[in-house]
Amino acid sequence: MIITTIDRKACATINEQAMQALQAVASEFGLVLSAQRSTFDPNGGFYDMKMRFSCRSADGIPTDFARNAPLCGLEAGHFGMDFVSDGKTYRISGINLRAKKFPVRCEGPNGRTYKFPSALVCSLVKPLGGAS
């Protein structure tokens, strides 16, 4: 397929095929790959795609989450745990230490990412290690 004009459809095609090729390389090394964003400029034909690699331990927990969880009052095992806030269920999906007020990233019921303060999340999740 030869692309004669750069438009959203062409960028989507490039993005899809590039992700498939990079997924094969990432899985060979045990990495998880997710596309961050892509943009295009139809006048200049500029295409920008950023990738984020995430290493995971043998039990599937991202290593950066396991390393940073104690800094937010959580444990590595809290990754992927669900909690309810304001009647909606959220799943813990990451930590961003640069976000001082809302460092805990969670996936909401609609698939969107939400930010929460660590104190709130700690109060809503069950402690690990046999305690109830």
pLDDT tens for residues 8-61? Answer: 787 778 888 888 888 888 778 767 777 666 667 776 556 666 666 677 777 888
- DSSP of the chain: ---SS--HHHHHHHHHHHHHHHHHHHHHTTEEEEEEEEEEETTTTEEEEEEEEEEB-TTS-BHHHHHHGGGGT--GGGTT-EEEETTEEEEEEEE-TT-SS--EEEE-TTS-EEEE-HHHHHHHSPPSSS--
The domains of the chain are located at 8-55, 63-124
Name the band, by pLDDT with cuts 50, 70 and 90, for residue 96. Answer: very high
pLDDT tens for residues 66-91? Answer: 999 999 999 999 999 999 999 999 99
Q: What is the pLDDT of residue 26?
A: 79
- pTM over 0.85, yes/no: no
Q: What is the pLDDT of residue 132?
A: 46
pLDDT tens for residues 97-126? Answer: 999 999 999 999 988 999 999 999 999 998
